[in-house]
Chain A
């Protein structure tokens, strides 16, 4: 494989999605910091942080936590609308939904890890890893948003759920926070950062694309599909224009494949040129295709 071909770019996250991700990650990290700063007030890092912000640091902490919460909830709502109203969003949620294949993949993955098989399972657009991450976030946001809202508006909820309910909400909010944070740090950060295949980082969250090499490794089935589509397009064109003998475009290692943007519903494009990321942006905005697992 020529290295050139390996560097071809495939859209993973549109700008819109990257902006969603950005708001989600900043609000999430802010919530983690300001939240655990409440729970562990004597921790060295909390003390340092509070000293930094002076006398009213504690009150500031609460305000920032609520602002971040509002941002996160807002992004979540936006995401719901995005998933319902946009074509790419609908495709996204369909691709993200669990399938039986995910369990098989998980099973095969472990077989591979323990050496029972030498074949690594091949993943499509979203692997079980990314699906788990995404739905965990969805679940976590709902739980944290609900319990957080109860705690925030304690005057409203206290008469409704009584003090025992408040205590339960507090407990859920705390343990869910631990679960969510650990999930991000252990699961998500491993796969996008520490994972030897992507280390030091999978840059799709700000560049928006994966290289062909990455695609081959992480999402081979998706690549196959893309190339199948492209081949179909090419074939049609060829028939139409030249009526030439058929060419087999089956294999993915075909050398000079033209990856014509042949979006069925989506317009992707990135010529195989090694253009800089800049080029991607306008195209993506119109109709992003790929999506990074969250």
Chain B
């Protein structure tokens, strides 16, 4: 110690003694007798910050900040109210210091704490010793107080949690104050529910809660997914850390069936997991299964049950679902037809793959998918005539074989029927509604040229403009599923004979010709013409219907664009008969009433018939009598 300091201390000590003497002499006379247990008196010594005492060999500060004390709720109390059993005249005041017993005053409020988790905690650990703040103030800062002790890493994560940001303190969950408590697993939901009531309600209806209540402690409650103090809110984090943590665990979910860990594992390679949308997976567990009210997949209320799947998938795939609902599949599904497919029937469940890039949805695999239901016998389809249509015939079609050869623009089921839009042929919005078929076949990348030819043809006009339901469109001639190339021998239109028969189905039908006032005698007159005779005889080059009338672009002869208009006829005939280019055509090609259409031919024919009857008849008569005469004579 420096000599200056000693000197200063001596001076101060002198002043203190002098002051004390003056102070005592001033008040001793007629004021209050100075009590030995007066707080003032205590502070006389204890306001010295340097005041220390030995406590079990340790030097302990005996300093009490008078200002803080005066502000505290205990400013009304005397020191001795708490510190009992001290003799101020002795130093130390007590040989066996007595612990402050708060209960002596705070009997009521301490009852709670004795039953709680903080039973062993000293009051002053929270309330401090002399500057005891009012309860209100403590409550405000309670969280910091708690963290003084509860400073493990897990609990410290609270500081960055949403609860911290939103000023939800420890007491929000743990009650705080004297009734602070631990929260058991079974109480978690109720605790969170104080604020998150609707979620609690949902959770209470969930399969997780049901399992939990059945006693399986593996079942999750709020904190198992969200964490207890850090409180996860990110969907992606929750799913990867929480849902999958359990549901990929083969011990918890053994086997290979639905619900097994393996079943769920497919999700990881699905398009939902692999495509990122705004930094998140396209769809996570909760997007389909729901979050708090997650249900057993067999529960009728489950978001993944057949009936609700449209709603669930439709949250993201709105347009597709809207189309699907109007489709035949969708209508049947909503009617409750248990055979009708829903989203998962085609797309799968966890293993949902991109339609564009996955193997599962290549055009070829799609065929198998559709045929898995639409096979003959199992799900027979009837056409508009009520005849059963063999859908598996598609596999004989050129469309299918082209796909197999790697020509990927060939049509598969959905190209004609639509995928989600699939409707029955009798629905006017169906792609395969008779009036829409040409558009469907002629869609871009497909048969656009043929569509162009067909548009404006008499067949197209009767169908669309005159609403003639029997007028042919693409499939009338080409067939439905088993569409073949024209030059394939099994095709109906491969041979001239087949083609003539095809056209004759309508143009030689009494019913059709009468109903629609079609010109009659086309087939007969053709079949008796040289062209027809040659075709009947097997000629491969003789003209058939198509050679003159065209195919997709068939128009009536009165149409100047028609191949058989008077103007174009020389050119049309000239394809085979170069001499015809300069010829003129003064009688119809199909002679039905020769007496009007070609009277010369008519009279020549009749002349010959007469001649044949007369001449040959005469010869027969002559020979018969000759024979009988000679025969008799011979005998």
Contact = CB atoms under 8 A, between A and B. Distances in A.
Interface in B367-425: none
A55 B539 CA distance: 9
Interface string B601-635: 10011001101100110011011011101110010
Contacts of A168: 598, 600-601, 604
18 contacts: A37-B537, A38-B537, A41-B533, A59-B539, A109-B622, A109-B626, A113-B626, A158-B577, A158-B583, A159-B580, A162-B584, A164-B598, A167-B587, A168-B604, A172-B608, A178-B608, A186-B619, A196-B627
A163 B626 contact: no
B536 to A, nearest CB: 4
A196 B634 contact: yes
Given A57-B538, A187-B619, A162 B612 contact: no
Interface string A49-64: 0100001011101000
B629 to A, nearest CB: 5
Given A162-B583, A163-B583, A195-B626, 10 more contacts: A41-B536, A50-B538, A58-B537, A109-B626, A154-B577, A157-B579, A158-B580, A163-B589, A172-B608, A176-B608
B580 A155 contact: yes
Interface of A: 37-39, 41-42, 46, 50, 55, 57-59, 61, 109-110, 112-114, 151, 154-159, 162-164, 167-168, 170-172, 175-176, 178-179, 182-183, 186-187, 190-191, 194-197
A168 B616 CA distance: 22
Contacts of B629: 112-113
Nearest 5 CB-CB pairs, A to B?
A155-B579, A175-B608, A41-B537, A164-B587, A41-B536
Nearest to A46: B537
Contacts of A175: 604-605, 608-609, 611-612
B188 interface: no
B146 interface: no
A179 B616 contact: yes
B585 interface: yes
Q: Which of the listed residues A50, A176, A190, A191 has the most CB atoms from chain B within 10 Å of its own CB?
A: A190
A156 B611 CA distance: 30
A89 to B, nearest CB: 27
A197 B598 CA distance: 48
B96 interface: no
A39 B533 contact: yes
Q: Which of the listed residues A109, A186, A197 has the most CB atoms from chain B within 10 Å of its own CB?
A: A186
B586 interface: yes
A163 B585 contact: yes
B601 A171 contact: yes
B582 interface: yes
A196 B609 CA distance: 30
B601 to A, nearest CB: 5
Nearest to B628: A113
B591 interface: yes
Contacts of B539: 58-59
B265 interface: no
B583 A182 contact: no
Contacts of A61: 537
Nearest to A191: B623
Contact of A163 (B537, B586, B612): B586
A201 to B, nearest CB: 15
Interface in B558-601: 577-580, 582-587, 589, 591, 598, 600-601
A102 to B, nearest CB: 13
Contacts of A38: 530, 533-534, 537
Contacts of A41: 533, 536-538
A162 B585 contact: yes
A167 to B, nearest CB: 5
Contacts of A110: 622, 625
Nearest to A50: B538
Contacts of A179: 608, 611-612, 615-616
A151 B534 CA distance: 14
A183 B615 contact: yes
Contacts of A191: 623
A159 B537 contact: no
A5 B508 CA distance: 70
A186 B620 CA distance: 7
A191 B630 CA distance: 12
A155 B608 contact: no
Nearest to B577: A155
A125 to B, nearest CB: 20
A114 to B, nearest CB: 7
A172 B604 contact: yes
Contacts of B598: 164, 167-168
Given A50-B537, A159-B582, A164 B577 contact: no
Contacts of B577: 154-155, 158
Contacts of A163: 583, 585-587, 589
Nearest to A178: B612
Contact of A194 (B536, B579, B604, B627): B627
A97 to B, nearest CB: 20
B531 to A, nearest CB: 11
Nearest to B597: A164
Contacts of B611: 175, 179
A142 B601 CA distance: 19
B579 A164 contact: no
A38 B619 CA distance: 27
Contacts of A194: 627
Nearest to B605: A171
Contacts of A42: 536
A151 B587 CA distance: 17
Contacts of A171: 601, 604-605, 608
A190 B601 contact: no
Contacts of B538: 41, 50, 55, 57-58
Contacts of B583: 158-159, 162-163
Nearest to B589: A163
Nearest to A114: B625
Nearest to B633: A196
Contacts of A156: 579
A171 B634 CA distance: 43
A45 to B, nearest CB: 13
A194 B620 CA distance: 13
Contacts of A197: 630
A37 to B, nearest CB: 7
Contact of A186 (B580, B601, B616): B616
Nearest to B579: A155
A120 B298 CA distance: 113
Nearest to A61: B537
B625 to A, nearest CB: 4
Contact of B623 (A37, A162, A186): A186
A180 to B, nearest CB: 10
Contacts of A157: 579
A196 B630 contact: yes
A187 B620 CA distance: 8
A168 B528 CA distance: 14
Q: Which of the listed residues B537, B538, B609, B615 has the most CB atoms from chain A within 10 Å of its own CB?
A: B537
B537 A154 contact: no
Nearest to A161: B583
Interface in B535-565: 536-539
Contacts of B620: 186
A58 B585 CA distance: 28
Nearest to B608: A175
A68 to B, nearest CB: 17
Q: Which of the listed residues A109, A170, A175, A197 has the most CB atoms from chain B within 10 Å of its own CB?
A: A175
B615 A155 contact: no
Contacts of B604: 168, 171-172, 175
B601 A167 contact: yes
Contacts of A57: 537-538
A204 B577 CA distance: 47
Nearest to A157: B579
Contacts of B578: 155
Contacts of A46: 537
